[in-house]
Structure formats: structure tokens, C-alpha cells
Structure 1
Amino acid sequence: MQQAIAVLDSGVGGLTVVKELMRQLPQEKVIYFGDTARSPYGPRSAVEVRIFTRQIVDYLIQFNPKMIVIACNTATAVAIEDIRERVSIPVLGVISPGARAAIKHTRTGVVGVIGTEGTIKSKAYEHALKLISPNIQVYSEPCPLLAPFVEKGLFGREQEQEIVEQSLQPLIGKPIDCLILGCTHYPFLMEPISRVMGPDVTLISSADETAREISTILYHRDRMETSGKLPIHQFFCSGEPTLFKRITESWLKDQIAITPVVWQVPTIF
């Protein structure tokens, strides 16, 4: 049986990673879980996010995946080491790949980061960037309105420009030459973000780099799919499936058949 790559997110944001994964590794099967019932994770405590991430991983393990991708920046920031201790398969987050991509693209050594409150508060990107390049200068800004906006399926509408301008206002005029989209929801808003930041600021989505790192890990472990069979992907959500299905089909351009299954999340408190 074809082993899948399990991808999880607080909602639909991780679909940006899935889309790139399907483009780069079209033979690989994907099992995706969006925790739409409890999204967004950004305002939640680190303890809550760790518990939620554990629950989802425990659920996904039943499918015997060969790798887990935490395609949520907030969960990556606070839970990735916890998950790595709990499972025996590779666990990849999205922060380190995004930081490496920014280091590669910056010309001035001045980088901006936008993300949820939880991601920005953790300083995970700042730590990852300075680990590679200690002298880099980082401007970070929480954008708590953007992920819920995407979760509601409102991207592509007129009001997206206004909410993006409002969210990015503190970074306008800062001497950054690239901006890390530190939430996997944000590539849904790539065009308005680009308009606000201008042509001199390169936007960095961790999705591309994450997919490349997945490929590298599978290759070195000799776990690349080579059967030549067309994979049958699976998509799960913890909330109401209709909007999840619409956003997934829209973003992935009907490349796959989607049957969201609602998972009844356990009561935490």
C-alpha cells in the first residue's frame, strides 16, 4: 500500500504547502487534516496548541504515514519538538525552510516577518534567521486578521485589499527587501500583499522550500514513491466540511477528488 505524507494545519492554510507538494512530487500521496473547528491557533496558548497538535498527529498515525508535515507556523513554533519525541517518522515544520529561503533571497540583510500572534510572540523566525545569519535584522509584525479572513473563504474579494493594507501598515516604509509570509494562510493573499509592499520587496512563502525539503528527506531515506500509480489523496477537517471543500477545490484547481470527513475533536477542558 502506498504510504502517504501526512500534512496538518489549523485550517486551510496548509493547502498552500499541499499545492506545492503536489506540483513537485506528483506521485506522492497526501493525507491532509485541517483543524477548522478550532482555527485560528494564533491567539491560543502554547499549551492548547501542543495538545491540539498531539491529537491530530495521534489521529493521522492510524494511516501509517511515512512523514508528518506540520504546515502551521504556530504549531511548528511551539509543538514540533514535542511531536518529534512522540513519533518515529520524520517530522518537518515550515519555519526553518522559510528562514532559509529568506536568507537566500535577501540582498540587504533586512527581513520582515508577518504571522499570527503566537508565531510572532515565539520569535521562532527571528531565532531561525539569526541561527543562519547572526547579523540579520528582522522586523516582525503580527497580523491576526488575515488567517481568519482566509478561513472564511473571503480571499479574492474586494475587501481583501483593505484588510491587508490595515495589517501591513506598521511595516510600510521599513527598510526590508524581503517579507516572510509566516503563516501558511498568507499565500492566499499573495497579490494584495505584493501590491501593498511594492515591487522591491520579495515575498517568501515557506511552501516552496518546505516541498523541496520533503523531497530531500524522502530521497535520502530512499522513501520516494516510484510505483507510477496515480495517488488518491485524502482530506479531513474537524469542522463544517462545506466551506472547507469549496476552498480546497478552488485552491487546488479541482486536481483531485475531495471527500472531507468531519472528525469529532475530543473535549480538552
Structure 2
Amino acid sequence: MQQPIAVLDSGVGGLTVVKEVMRQLPREKIIYFGDTARTPYGPRPADEVTRFTRQIVDYLIQFRPKMIVIACNTATAVALEDIRSRVAIPVVGVIHPGARAANGRTQTGIVGVIGTEGTIRSGAYEYALKQLSPSLEVISLACPKFVPLVEQGNFRSPETYEAVRSSLAPLKQRRLDTLILGCTHYPFLADTISEVMGREVALISSNDETAREISTILHDRNKLARNEDSPVHQFFCSGEPRMFKTIAQQWLGEQIELTPVVWQVPKIG
């Protein structure tokens, strides 16, 4: 029960999931790995993303986690089942939780999905949404400009607004009322995305639903943490740590001010 939850991502995007896990499950210890040296994953071939994901999981297993969360949509789309076949603990992805949230929110039955090239190419969101409701119309769009902006900490600027405006222009003519942020980096740009799409379009990220799924699985397995002390979280990144740490501290804010944190840069691959 005192074992950590391991969370991995191609970079800083998975911090959006971590923040919600910390909010919903404040007693749980988090070990986070952001592969900032090799981000973004979206343009990479599926076999390369799978190999990177395996390397990170092999590294994280030494900490004896009770669960692995693949907080990267691209890695979830291409490597989730592979990782599940390789480890003996639960492995949670972020696509099905996001699809469930969007299916419950849409009124028009027209759902947009934005993500990396790899996620959109996989068709994973469309498959997950159609499983829930075959009548849904799903409009998918790759937005490759977004992840580099987030990894640079460039959340709100004229450059960011123009990149979001031009990228989302094809969706503006459609009658969608719900837009899935199909990359965990994209909530960092949520204000700008909402400004471009209009307040009548609901933005859905998988963070809330993923944290609920984590809680449900741990509860069912009697694995929820019961310690009264604040957990000591560990954050790892494979690349230059200063920007990673700055973005993490800015995004998580109070969540990590209240608990001890260890920052490290390991060698993998």
C-alpha cells in the first residue's frame, strides 16, 4: 500500500495527470519520469515509441511501484498493451478515460480530437469513442506545433496564439460541442485553445477520469495508501532539468509546496 504510483510521459505533459492524482489521492507517493531528452513522441514511429516506453518502465520498476500510468497519449496508443504484457501490476493509459468523459459531455454527438501525429494516426480515440457510442461523429486533427511550445514553457504569447489559431482553423467550421485534448501537454494551452474555439465548446482532458480510474483500481485491490505522513515524491527527467523543474513547480504549485520532492536526472536507453 505504501508503494508508489509510477507515471511516465514524453516530457512535461504528464504533470497534468500528476496534479489531479495528487489532488484526489494526496497520500499517494508519485514517481514521475519525463523523457524530455527525446520529446516529442508524436512524430516518431510506433516501434520507437514502444522501445522508449519499455526503457522507462524498466527503469521505474526498480522502485517497486504498485501501478504504472502511461500519461502520454501517443505511448498509450501504441504501447499500452505491450507494457501490460510485460509487467505484473496494473497499467493505466489516458485514452479511454478521456473518451468516457467526452461521451458523457457531448450534446450534439460531434466530438473533436486533437493530438500528436502518432496519436491521431493510430485512430485510438476514434476507436474508444465508437466503442462507447457508435453513432458519434469524430473529427480528428493532429497539432504538431503544440508540444514544442509547452516543452519551452511558452504557454501564452502572440506566437502561441497564432500557432493555436492556425492549427485549429479546420475545426472552426464544424458543429462540434466537445473537444478532447488528446495529448497531456495540451491542458497547458487550454486557455488559448478555449479562446480560439469559443466558450461553447467544452474542452475535455483525461486528467480527472484517469485519476478516478487509478483510485478505483487501487481501492478494488486494497492498495490505497493509508500513511498519515506526507509522501516524498520523486521527479525524473532525461534531459536538461532546469526548464522541466520550472514548469513542474509552476504547474503543480501548491501541490508540491506542501510535500517533499526529490529531483533527479537518470541515464536510460
- TM-score bucket of the superposed structures, by smaller chain: over 0.9
Deviation, 1:173, is 1.8
Secondary structure of the 1:17 match is helix
- The answer on whether the counterparts of 2:232 and 2:261 sit within 8 Å (CA) in structure 1 is no
Q: Which residue of 1 aligns with 2:171?
A: 171
Secondary structure of the 1:255 match is helix
Matched, 1:210 2:213: no
Q: Distance in 1 between matches of 2:215 and 2:159?
A: 37
Q: Distance in 2 between matches of 1:171 and 1:73?
A: 20
Q: Which residue of 2 aligns with 1:117?
A: 117
Deviation, 1:150, is 0.2
Deviations 1:151-204 (A, max 9, x none): 111113342211111111111121101000000000000100001111111000
Q: Which residue of 2 aligns with 1:264?
A: 267
Q: Which residue of 2 aligns with 1:132?
A: 132
Deviations 1:123-167 (A, max 9, x none): 000000001111110000000000111011111334221111111
Shift >4 Å, 4+ stretches: none
Q: Which residue of 2 aligns with 1:57?
A: 57
Deviation, 1:2, is 2.4
Q: Distance in 2 between matches of 1:194 and 1:237?
A: 30
Q: Distance in 2 between matches of 1:198 and 1:34?
A: 31
Secondary structure of the 1:211 match is helix
Q: Distance in 2 between matches of 1:152 and 1:187?
A: 15
- The answer on whether the counterparts of 1:245 and 1:258 sit within 8 Å (CA) in structure 2 is no
Secondary structure of the 2:255 match is coil
- The answer on whether the counterparts of 1:6 and 1:65 sit within 8 Å (CA) in structure 2 is yes
After superposition, where does 1:182-261 map in structure 2 within 5 Å?
Answer: 182-256=182-256, 257-261=260-264
- The answer on whether the counterparts of 1:110 and 1:138 sit within 8 Å (CA) in structure 2 is yes
After superposition, where does 1:34-53 map in structure 2 within 5 Å?
Answer: 34-53=34-53
Q: Which residue of 2 aligns with 1:72?
A: 72
Secondary structure of the 2:11 match is coil
152-161 vs 64-73, greater mean Cα deviation: 152-161
Deviation, 1:265, is 2.8
Deviation, 1:86, is 0.3
Deviation, 1:76, is 0.1
Name the amino acid aligned to 1:41: Y
Q: Distance in 2 between matches of 1:44 and 1:160?
A: 23
TM-score (norm 2): 0.97
Q: Distance in 1 between matches of 2:184 and 2:64?
A: 25
TM-score (norm 1): 0.97
- The answer on whether the counterparts of 2:3 and 2:29 sit within 8 Å (CA) in structure 1 is yes
Residues 156 and 254 (structure 1 numbering): CA distance in 2 closer, same or farther, change over 3 Å? Answer: farther
Deviation, 1:6, is 0.3
Q: Alignment RMSD, CA only?
A: 1.1
- The answer on whether the counterparts of 1:17 and 1:207 sit within 8 Å (CA) in structure 2 is yes
- The answer on whether the counterparts of 1:238 and 1:263 sit within 8 Å (CA) in structure 2 is yes
Secondary structure of the 2:194 match is helix
Unaligned runs of 5+ in 1: none
Q: Distance in 2 between matches of 1:78 and 1:153?
A: 27
Name the amino acid aligned to 2:39: S
Q: Distance in 1 between matches of 2:96 and 2:255?
A: 29
Q: Which residue of 1 aligns with 2:89?
A: 89
- The answer on whether the counterparts of 1:236 and 1:261 sit within 8 Å (CA) in structure 2 is yes
Unaligned runs of 5+ in 2: none
